[in-house]
Amino acid sequence: MIEARFRPTWPIDLRRTLGPMARRPAMRVGLDGIWRATLTADGPATTHLRVERDGEVQLRAWGPGAAWAAERLPGLVGADDDVSGFTDVADRHPLVAELARRMPGVRFSRTGQVFEAIVPTIIEQKVTGHAARRSFAQLVRRLGQPAPGPGAALGLIVPPAPDAWAATPSWVFPRAGVERRRADTVRVAATYARRLDEAATLPREIAWARLTALPGVGAWTAAEVAQVALGDGDAVSIGDFHIPNTVAWALAGEARGDDARMLELLEPFRPHRGRVIRLLEAAGIAAPKFGPRMAVNEFADG
């Protein structure tokens, strides 16, 4: 077991910061902290994070990738997230200013693990969150490996390596509720895993270009990945089913909005547009629900 500690200069909200990457059976959020199984560049690792009473973050890690994970603790909990200037732009709307004041601990992680983030995001393309989480869990349980150390006893499973995803027979995906288009995108991504992970070391524009150059990966998928793996606080998930409505309702009192209206309302908050969305979601703000619900089998480009 390897231990690392990091003392943030802000009142960290660990659950809301790491929440966007919470997918079973690779991660578990409990009263005792956050457990995560991950496949690092050095091999599988189980990590456990918790915030001490004095605000210090403690990480314990097991497995071949333990040292790799420990070294990246600061970025994982948001130390690389550039919040400079956000207070000024937040003051342009009273609700955003209030949420920024109430939730200063919400930050963007920078895991640097682009491929690990892109697989579940591809699976989530244009299906309900419940269906996507179920599909991802079934595939990880079938193709992954038990987490090192105490992770296995907790039921944590390390997501499959790229070569395992690439070699998965076509019939496995439909049995988990993933149709051919998304399955093919996952397998193609697996063949470019090294190139995808390199995106974490590139300037923002080049990293985004590399993500969206992958067939089946569009603006929505790239933004969802960038928010977690690249720590991009300005990333906006264009094409999302719910977010435009949430933004229109929260910032303009409009029950429904499209991508164009969402981007118009968020423009004053650049380069923190994704941060505004994260705060709205963290506060549980949502537009009124009426009208038909999205069908589970409705697919579109990512």
Segment 46-82, tens digit of pLDDT = 999 999 989 999 999 999 999 999 999 999 999 999 9
CA angle 196-201-206, nearest 5°?
70
Q: What is the pLDDT of residues 151-196, one digit of tens each?
A: 999 999 999 999 999 999 989 999 999 999 999 999 999 999 999 9
Spell out the domains of the chain, with CATH numbers in brackets. Answer: 2-98 (3.30.310.20), 114-219 (1.10.340.30)
Q: Is the pLDDT of residue 289 over 90?
A: no
Structure tokens at 24: 């079973």
Q: What is the pTM of this model?
A: 0.88
Q: What is the pLDDT of residues 19-30, one digit of tens each?
A: 998 899 999 998
Q: Give me the percent of the chain exceeding a pLDDT of 70.
A: 96
Computed over every residue of the chain, the mean pLDDT equals 92
The torsion angles phi and psi of 145, rounded to 5 degrees, stand at -135, 150
d(CA 174, CA 7): 45
Contacts with 209 (C-beta within 8 Å, 6 or more apart), sequence order: none
CA angle 291-294-299, nearest 5°?
150
CA angle 63-65-69, nearest 5°?
115
The torsion angles phi and psi of 155, rounded to 5 degrees, stand at 85, 10
Identity at 261, one-letter amino acid code: R
> Which helix (DSSP H) or strand (DSSP E) does residue 35 occupy?
strand 33-40
d(CA 121, CA 134): 13
Closest of 154, 120, 146 to residue 48, by C-alpha: 154
Q: Is the pLDDT of residue 123 over 50?
A: yes
Q: What is the pLDDT of residues 75-117, one digit of tens each?
A: 999 999 999 999 999 999 999 999 999 999 999 999 999 999 9
* pLDDT (mean) for 241-249: 94
d(CA 140, CA 172): 11
The rounded Cα 88 to chain-centroid distance in angstroms is 26
